[in-house]
Amino acid sequence: MNIQESTRFAIQGVTANKVRSALTTLGILIGVAAVIILVAVGTGSSKAVADSISKLGSNVLTVSSTSTSAGGGRAGAGGPGGSGGFAALFGGGSATTTDSGTKSRSPQLTMEDARALTDKTTAPDIEGVAPVVSAQSVTATYQGASHSVGTFTGTTAAYLLINNDSIATGSAFTDADYNDHARVAVVGTTVAKDLAGGDGTSIVGKTVAFNGKEFTVVGILGSKGSQGPQDQDDVVLAPATAVQDTLSGYGSISQIKVKAASADTTSAAQTQVETVLDGRHGTTSSDRDFSVFNQAQILSAASSSNATFTVLLGAVAAISLLVGGIGVMNIMLVTVTERTREIGIRKAIGAGKGDIVSQFLLEAVILSLFGAIVGVAVGLIGAHFTIVGVQPVVAPYSVILAFGVALATGLFFGLYPANRAAKLRPIDALRYE
Amino acid sequence: MATTKPVIDLARVTKTYGEGETAVHAVAGVDLVVERGDYVAVMGASGSGKSTLMNIIGCLDEPTRGRYLLDGVDVRRRQEATLSRIRNRKIGFIFQSFNLIPRTSALRNVELPLAYAGVKPGERRARALAALDKVGLADRTDHEPSQLSGGQQQRVAVARAIVTEPVLLLADEPTGALDSHSTADVLDLFDELSAAGRTIVVITHEVEVAHRAKRILRMRDGLIVADDRTVPVHELPPAFRVKAAAS
């Protein structure tokens, strides 16, 4: 009795009751497909987040305030005197700085903090600095159309460079606009389409009211698409000076975006940012009231939360695979009972324990193998569709794992019924009706 | 005869179910020797112990006490694997309810004991076809049991029993589920096999069946109460002799 022979008997057994075998296989199939698709969704969303973060550039640092105390009273971030290039823009601005906060402890990030970072002698590895002033709940109106803006950012021209933003139509605002407190704005495609209709390009050159304050739209940003629920095209950029004049007031700024000269100097730039700001805020690494993130840190935070998400999805799918395995065991137990007499005949004419075990074990494995193969196919096909806004990315390990676990399930859950069959005494089995 | 070993040699064999007061002696002490080439019928009412005796002879059950040599081999206290090998090599079973594997062709059914014996596919097929030819079913090899009549199914079972060339053919009520025409067919087949020198033991409660044998044993209460020989061991079975004389 060889394995071929046992396989033939097992295939005969499986095909003898096609509907039942198909239903049993379905349990394994769903389990395998679920593991592959759900892990692919998890991996896909990780990849989407990683992609959008890396689009920002690996040499961008984000400085944000960690203090919660209000610092709204600090005024005097007046327009710097110089022009032409942002280094000159901030570097030359000391003449008009009226603030006395230098070297004193300030709870929030200020325009002066941003300006200090442009000093090439204390921060040689920093290539660009852009302060970010946010205006909350801004509604844009244009010729009767209105749109609630997702993100309204006041910044400098350097922001577009740092953020890898491009201009699709029209032009960006300039440092001169910044210095002149010019009321100009660059809008994202979502905003443009919502206000002007069509492809939105007709809005360039027109005046749009943001919370009643009029800004002239000079350009439209290139589309960046969505990152999860956040539409990255639902943005408006304007010179920080004009935004402070009209919408946000002269309080603290929410972030400072810093671009290092290259990816290799990112950590040097980070140290320089911390040194300069520690000096200005009078803090040390232990009581720092701001924090500096680089993209790698944000990426690792995002991917660790995504990994948890993926594991959870995988676990749910694994449970369905286990249930499928129990289905195989159930059917094999029924089969063994049903075929008690056949087992008795086989044993009477010379089948050994091993022959019976291998026959029934192979039946269980064939059921789960078939389920696993079709399950992998269904999983790979299913992963081509976008699921809840995520384009799944099939992880090869999940395919191998699901397939292997399905087979192991068949073996494990087939073992008990097969042994039960083999243990039957031929005299009892033959008497069974 | 190359050997003088008896096919069956039972000495003081008992089979007891239960213990103490409630003990039932299904077989209460049987001495039996069956020579090679004999054709023996075992008769008895139900409960006489003939089925238990058949299970012991067929190595499907172990005697409680006593000695059993099958073709000179002591089969007591053997591992289950050894017993299935002994059954496979030495005994061909024929059951009342045919006991063919369902949804499996006649050829595959006949091949089955050879498969368990490890015979190669080519030889297996040739031997199975020869056995089916011998029982007159050469044209039914691809039929499944459900497509065959009762008589044909029993002939497939006989083919399966003889395909391994066993020393003993053991039939348990082989005609119990057959009409008279099929019964005659199967009994003629037994006569031919006996005439060819095979050793046959038939368990039956039908007198007509028993009268085809060379020797008739009667059992009652677990004991052999009568042992009548109608034809010497090495002569042809009675009905076959009559037929041969007639033709």
B31/B67 Cα distance (integer angstroms): 9
Q: Chain A residues within 8 A (CB-CB) of chain B?
A: 1-2, 5, 12, 16, 341-342, 344-355, 426-427, 430
CB atoms B58 and A12 under 8 Å: no
Mutate to test the interface with B, among A5, A339, A345, A353 (most CBs of B within 10 A): A345
- Residue A217 sits at φ, ψ, to 5 deg, of -80, 120
Confidence of residue B22 (pLDDT cuts 50, 70, 90): confident
Q: Give the Å distances, CA to CA, from B177 to B55, B159, B186, B187.
A: 20, 18, 12, 13
Q: A-chain residues within 8 Å CB-CB of B81?
A: 352-354
pLDDT in tens, B95-105: 989 999 988 89
Q: Give the Å distances, CA to CA, from A205 to A202, A218, B161, B218.
A: 8, 5, 100, 119
Amino acid at A143: Q
- Structural domain count of chain B: 1
Q: A-chain residues within 8 Å CB-CB of B172?
A: none
Contacts of B43 (CB under 8 A, 6+ apart): B50, B204, B205, B207, B210, B216, B217, B218, B219
Q: Which residue of B has its CA nearest to A430?
A: B99
Written as six digits, the tokens of A39 are: 């892990």
Q: A-chain residues within 8 Å CB-CB of B99?
A: 341, 344-345, 348, 430
Point out which residues pair with A216 in neighbouring strands.
A184, A207
Question: What pLDDT shows up at residue A36?
Answer: 93
Mutate to test the interface with A, among B53, B61, B80, B84 (most CBs of A within 10 A): B84
Written as six digits, the tokens of B214 are: 């060379």
Burial class (CB in 10 A: 0-12, 13-18, 19+), A16: middle
B182/B178 Cα distance (integer angstroms): 6
Question: What pLDDT shows up at residue A80?
Answer: 38
Q: B-chain residues within 8 Å CB-CB of A342?
A: 101-102
Cβ atoms within 10 Å of B46's Cβ, excluding its own: 8
Looking at the partner chain, which of B81, B104, B116 has a beta carbon nearest the beta carbon of A349? B116
Q: What are the helix (H) ranges across B31-179? A: 50-57, 80-90, 106-117, 121-134, 150-162
Shortest Cα distance, chain B CAs vs residue A12, angstroms: 8
Contact indicator for B208, B174 with CB cutoff of 8 Å: no
Contacts of A40 (CB under 8 A, 6+ apart): A379, A383, A392, A393, A394, A395, A398
CB atoms B101 and A352 under 8 Å: no
Specify if B11 maps to a domain.
no
A396/B54 Cα distance (integer angstroms): 60
Question: What pLDDT shows up at residue A429?
Answer: 86
A107/A101 Cα distance (integer angstroms): 11
CB atoms B116 and A342 under 8 Å: no
Q: Which residue of B has its CA nearest to A427?
A: B60
Q: Is A150 left (phi over 0), alpha (psi -120 to 50) or beta?
A: alpha
Contacts of A81 (CB under 8 A, 6+ apart): A92, A93, A95, A96
Written as six digits, the tokens of A269 are: 């730039």
Confidence of residue B46 (pLDDT cuts 50, 70, 90): confident
Cβ atoms within 10 Å of A280's Cβ, excluding its own: 21
Amino acid at A295: Q
| Greatest Cα-to-Cα distance within chain A, rounded to the nearest angstrom | 108
Specify if B199 maps to a domain.
yes
B94/B131 Cα distance (integer angstroms): 14
Shortest Cα distance, chain A CAs vs residue B75, angstroms: 15
Name which of A18-27, A84-93, B28-37, B154-163 the model is least confident about: A84-93
- By residue count, chain A amounts to 433
A25/A325 Cα distance (integer angstroms): 9
Question: What pLDDT shows up at residue A57?
Answer: 65
| Interface contacts A/B by beta carbons within 8 Å | 60
A278/A256 Cα distance (integer angstroms): 15
Q: Which residue of A has its CA nearest to B56?
A: A427
Burial class (CB in 10 A: 0-12, 13-18, 19+), B180: exposed
Contacts of A330 (CB under 8 A, 6+ apart): none
Question: What pLDDT shows up at residue A1?
Answer: 58
Question: What pLDDT shows up at residue A83?
Answer: 35
Shortest Cα distance, chain B CAs vs residue A413, angstroms: 25
Question: What pLDDT shows up at residue A4?
Answer: 81
Specify if B207 maps to a domain.
yes
Mutate to test the interface with B, among A3, A349, A356, A425 (most CBs of B within 10 A): A349
Q: A-chain residues within 8 Å CB-CB of B168?
A: none
CB atoms B101 and A1 under 8 Å: no
A28/A39 Cα distance (integer angstroms): 17
Shortest Cα distance, chain A CAs vs residue B51, angstroms: 11
Mutate to test the interface with A, among B56, B85, B99 (most CBs of A within 10 A): B99
Amino acid at A54: S
Q: A-chain residues within 8 Å CB-CB of B93?
A: 348-349
Specify if B175 maps to a domain.
yes
A301/B225 Cα distance (integer angstroms): 92
Q: Give the Å distances, CA to CA, from A298 to A130, A234, A302, B100.
A: 19, 22, 6, 71
DSSP per-residue codes, A276-329: HHHHHHT--TTS-SEEEEEHHHHHHHHHHHHHHHHHHHHHHHHHHHHHHHHHHH
Dihedral over alpha carbons B192, A345, B32, B71 (to 10 degrees)? 80
Shortest Cα distance, chain A CAs vs residue B200, angstroms: 17
Q: Chain B residues within 8 A (CB-CB) of chain A?
A: 55, 58, 60-61, 80-81, 84-85, 87-89, 93, 95, 99-104, 112-113, 115-118, 160, 164
Dihedral over alpha carbons A298, A303, A305, A307 (to 10 degrees)? -170
CB atoms A349 and B113 under 8 Å: yes
**Position B241 pLDDT exceeds 60:** yes
Containing domain of residue B140, as a range?
36-61+80-246
A146/A140 Cα distance (integer angstroms): 5
Question: What pLDDT shows up at residue A67?
Answer: 59
Cβ atoms within 10 Å of A161's Cβ, excluding its own: 17
Question: What pLDDT shows up at residue A252?
Answer: 78
- CATH code of the domain containing B228: 3.40.50.300
Q: B-chain residues within 8 Å CB-CB of A355?
A: 116
Burial class (CB in 10 A: 0-12, 13-18, 19+), B190: buried
B41/B38 Cα distance (integer angstroms): 10
- Which has more confidence, B197 or A388? B197
Q: Encode A160-186 in three state secondary structure.
A: HHHCCCCEEEECCCCHHHHHCCCCEEE
Specify if B75 maps to a domain.
no
Question: What pLDDT shows up at residue A244?
Answer: 87
Burial B152-162 (b: 16+ CB within 10 A, else e): bbbbbbbbbbb
- Provide the terminal-to-terminal Cα distance of chain A, rounded to the nearest Å: 27
Contact indicator for A185, A173 with CB cutoff of 8 Å: yes
CB atoms B84 and A12 under 8 Å: no
Looking at the partner chain, which of A12, A341, A349 has a beta carbon nearest the beta carbon of B103? A12
Tell the residue number behind the tokens 């040689």, with chain if given. A124
CA-based nearest residue to B32, from B234, B168, B211? B168
Specify if B16 maps to a domain.
no
Q: Which residue of A has its CA nearest to B85?
A: A350
pLDDT digits (tens), chain A, 433 positions: 578 888 888 888 888 889 999 999 999 999 999 999 999 998 888 888 777 777 666 678 888 887 544 443 333 333 333 333 343 344 333 333 344 444 444 457 888 888 888 888 888 888 888 888 888 888 898 888 888 888 899 998 888 888 778 888 888 888 888 888 889 999 998 888 888 888 888 888 889 999 988 999 999 988 877 665 667 788 999 998 888 888 888 877 888 888 888 777 888 888 888 888 888 888 888 888 888 888 777 777 877 888 888 889 889 988 999 999 999 999 999 999 998 999 999 999 988 888 999 999 999 999 999 999 999 999 999 999 988 778 899 999 999 999 999 999 889 999 999 998 998 888 888 887 6
Looking at the partner chain, which of A342, A350, A430 has a beta carbon nearest the beta carbon of B101? A342
Q: Which residue of B has its CA nearest to A352?
A: B81
Q: Give the Å distances, CA to CA, from A245 to A70, A154, A162, A181, B215.
A: 19, 10, 24, 8, 124
Looking at the partner chain, which of A2, A345, A351 has a beta carbon nearest the beta carbon of B84? A351
Looking at the partner chain, which of B60, B81, B115 has a beta carbon nearest the beta carbon of A348? B60
Q: B-chain residues within 8 Å CB-CB of A358?
A: none
Q: What is the DSSP letter of A215?
A: E
pLDDT (mean) for B209-233 = 93
Specify if B174 maps to a domain.
yes
Looking at the partner chain, which of B89, B104, B117 has a beta carbon nearest the beta carbon of A12? B104
